[in-house]
Amino acid sequence: MGEGTGTFNRLLTFLESAISLFPDNRRGRNRSYRMRDVAMSAFSVFFTQSPSFLSFQRSMQENQGNNNCRTLFGVETIPSDNQIRNVLDGVPSRCLESVYESCVGLLIDEGYLKDFRGVHGQLLVALDGTRFFDSEAINCSGCSATVLSNGATSYYHGVLTAAVVAPGSQRVIALSPEMISPQDGSEKQDCEYVAAKRWMQRWAPMLAAQKVTILGDDLFGHLSFCQTVKEHGFSFIFTCKDASHPSLGEWIGECDPQLDLHETSVRRWDGKRHHTYTYRWATEVPLTDTDHPMLVNWMELTISDDAGKVTYHNTWVTDLPVDETTIEALVQAARTRWKIENETINTLKTKGYHLEHNFGHGKQHLANLLLSLNLLAFLFHTILEFADARYRLIRQTLARRTTFFDDVRALTRYLCFDSWTAMLQFMIAGLKLTDPGG
């Protein structure tokens, strides 16, 4: 792909192209700052994981005559925080979709998704919903609302997140989020289901040809959603609990264990003790008790210790072929769904991206747009770890994510770097590493 700065600048070019199409209803003096400066200033806060980044760069500009917001992100003049919020409030988060699509296209073209392919050559895309704003006082036109037990109204923003995941890989590739709107309903299942339908409709043209399997929890494992997944050209592996699928559970309980159920066990050592992994599966199982049910393949994993105590149990349904050669890999793929919670949502909430921090709520689109910029920063860092050898070396050396960003915050507060590469080279020299080049 070329030298590290080239990758970084290429990613910024994707963002710049989207910014050039942002709606801008400002008039006269209100247009004193370029939209590019406004949006890129906001993005720089998330990319550096520094809520005070712009404040530091304004001070640096006064003291040194230059700043990292200009040299790294191309911002000519840094707007105030209030100006950024006011201008971006009128920009829908959907205006950033092209950036996510360009990033995924880059990953496909450069072959970085090959290592993410698993059983049946599938890419695994996990879906999960989360809230990123809650308040009883602040609200906007895009807020959903719920009445609390004390009679008060709580306003919130929810989002359906999506990420490419792979068993055994700590990396996840964030895809564009789908904002949950007030019209999607008040129940978690309805909200996430409707948002997921929109998400699939947007991503099907690009991803269906990539052989994608959608992963999701029990909220998604129902007939109408499984049909929607298939209509868009995807496969699925969804958690399937007996309580929400009573007819399927009854079928499994009543079927002939010699003819319809298959079983295999594997004993494994986890470094401390042995566990027995027992896999069961059945093929062409009716998902619902209807005249023309969808037939799915059912999978179960039970993990027990040597004393016979069950330490894990779960069941799933899938449309992918299941037999003794694929059952372990398919269950491993199913269990990879947790990575969207742990490696994506939890990372964004607790590892420096401040997902739930109120950077600004606005009256229209601000909260959603800032959330999307935050996820985009997370995606940019993932791509740089693939494509930028210097970045990758530093991240491997500074194993904790928080250590890396602590250093970035400190360095960009006191020193002005001519470029992204210059900052990475400074860090490599300080760590006494051998520069690998771009």
pLDDT 10s digits, 343-393: 555 555 555 445 545 577 889 999 999 999 999 999 999 999 999 999 999
Q: Which H, E and C letters describe the chain, residue by residue?
A: CCCHHHHHHHHHHHHHHHHCCCCCCCCHHHHCCCHHHHHHHHHHHHHCCCCCHHHHHHHHHHHHCCCHHHHHHCCCCCCCHHHHHHHHCCCCHHHHHHHHHHHHHHHHHCCCCHHHCCHHHCEEEEEEEEEEEEECCCCCCCCEEEECCCCCEEEEEEEEEEEEECCCCCCCEEEEEEEECHHHCCCHHHHHHHHHHHHHHHHHHHHHHHCEEEEECCCCCCHHHHHHHHHCCCEEEEECCCCCCHHHHHHHHHCCCCCCCEEEEEEEECCCCEEEEEEEEEEEEECCCCCCCCEEEEEEEEEEECCCCEEEEEEEEECCCCCCCCHHHHHHHHHCCHHHHHHHHHHHHHCCCCCCCCCCCCCCCHHHHHHHHHHHHHHHHHHHHHHCHHHHHHHHHCCCHHHHHHHHHHHHHHCCCCCHHHHHHHHHHHCCCCCCCC
Task: Report residue 131's pLDDT band, with 50, 70 and 90 as the boundaries.
Answer: confident
Q: Residues 2-8: what's their mean pLDDT? A: 66
pLDDT at 4: 45
pLDDT at 259: 85
Give CA–CA dist 310/294, Å, rounded: 31
pLDDT at 346: 57
- Which residue in 210, 199, 218 sits closest to 235, CA to CA? 210
Asked whether residue 331 carries a pLDDT value surpassing 50, the answer given is: yes
Give CA–CA dist 34/12, Å, rounded: 16
Q: Residues 67-78: what's their mean pLDDT? A: 98
pLDDT 10s digits, 247-279: 999 999 988 888 899 999 999 998 889 999 999
pLDDT at 3: 43
pLDDT 10s digits, 214-237: 999 998 999 999 999 999 999 999
* Percent above pLDDT 70 for the chain: 92
pLDDT at 38: 97
Domain boundary assignment for the chain? 4-95+357-430, 238-330
pLDDT 10s digits, 167-215: 988 889 999 999 988 776 555 555 888 999 999 999 999 998 899 999 9
Asked whether residue 83 carries a pLDDT value surpassing 60, the answer given is: yes
Q: What is the pLDDT of the chain when averaged over all its residues?
A: 90
Least confident of 37-46, 136-145, 394-403: 136-145
284: left (phi over 0), alpha (psi -120 to 50) or beta: left
Beta-ladder partners of 161: 128
pLDDT at 345: 52
* Percent above pLDDT 90 for the chain: 71
pLDDT 10s digits, 418-438: 999 999 999 999 999 999 987
pLDDT at 116: 92
Q: Residues 286-296: what's their mean pLDDT? A: 89
Least confident of 220-224, 318-322, 326-330, 340-344: 340-344
pLDDT at 134: 84
